Amino acid sequence: MADLITVSEDSFIKSVGMYRVKGQECVSTVIEAALEAGYRSIDTATGYRNEDLVAKSLSLFLPRNGLNREDIFITSKLAPKDQGQEKSVKAVYLSLQKLSTVYLDLYLIHWPGTQGLSPEDSRNLEFRRQSWKALEELYEEKKLRSIGVSNYTIKHLTEMLTYAKTMPHVLQVEYHPHYIQEDLRSFCKEHGIHLQAYSSLGTTVCNSPLLSDPVVLEISEKYNKTPAQILLKWAIQQEIGVLPKSQNPDHIKENMMLDFIMEDKDMKSLSSLGIRTKYAWDPSQVA
């Protein structure tokens, strides 16, 4: 995490997610509530189509909270349509323009595949290799303060050992008590990659089974916390970053109130539910 220098590690580990947040009013509501609640890290992407809306909201609410650009950590991501050397460079500069900033704190390759290619097409590897080379150059130029990948498997990361001058600072993947990827987490530890979890609450599907899991409910009652707070704390207590997403200001505030410690036995209970269910996208078939 030494390269993630713009804000503190504690601020980075709790990011507000902008996935599916659409329209200026909704984006402004989320940004305003997040900054007031103490979030200092914002996670967006080209594919979310709200980078410009995030920028407008920040221009309004940063001053109201006595903050500057340097006080926050902004993440964006390369869309699958922009894989490749030239396209990825253009995409980064477009994100910089839309976000009204001269640098990004973190930029990720969003998906190991390329739009328009079948998952098994071997050209996926070459395009993501080219994209990574471009990100490395932009990192050296300090346009990107940190670089990383999202939805990469151990196979994809192992391939990077053969061509990357700089290994990813961050890996963003689905990770929660119903989908624990311990081998992937161990790989990240071995290679100094910070693990960041998306879909921590399983809300990429309707009526999240995670939020209604009997063990989660039992532990939430014990600590007088919401199921969401328990799931987020389970990750953070293992030094796994989280990206809670909500358009409800009260929930945004609640998701930041994680100043409690769960006992080891409760952590172990959550880590041994015996369920392995993926609620988001599966990158394992991408060549």
Indicate the residue type of 171: L
Tokens representing 134 are 């471009």
Cα distance between residue 116 and residue 143, in whole Å: 28
**pLDDT per residue as tens digits for the range 136-156:** 999 999 999 999 999 999 999
- Per-residue b or e along 222-231, where b marks 16 or more CB atoms closer than 10 Å to that residue's CB: eeebbbbbbb
Q: 10 Å Cβ neighbour count for 216? A: 26
Indicate the residue type of 113: G
Contact present, 87 and 109 (Cβ < 8 Å): no
Cα distance between residue 135 and residue 121, in whole Å: 23
**pLDDT per residue as tens digits for the range 54-107:** 999 999 999 999 999 999 999 999 999 999 999 999 999 999 999 999 999 999
Q: Please compute, for residue 49, the number of CA atoms within 13 A of its CA located in the half-sphere on the CB side.
A: 3
Report pLDDT for 10. Answer: 56
Residues noted as catalytic: 48
Tokens representing 80 are 């699958």
Give this prediction's pTM: 0.95
As a dihedral over the C-alpha atoms of residue 230, residue 231, residue 235, residue 241, rounded to 10 degrees, the angle is -110
**Comparing 36-40, 165-169, 201-205, which segment has the lowest mean pLDDT?**
201-205
Residue linked to tokens 């594919």? 47
- Residues paired with 197 in a beta bridge: 173, 242
**pLDDT per residue as tens digits for the range 179-237:** 999 999 999 999 999 999 999 999 877 889 999 999 999 999 999 999 999 999 999 99
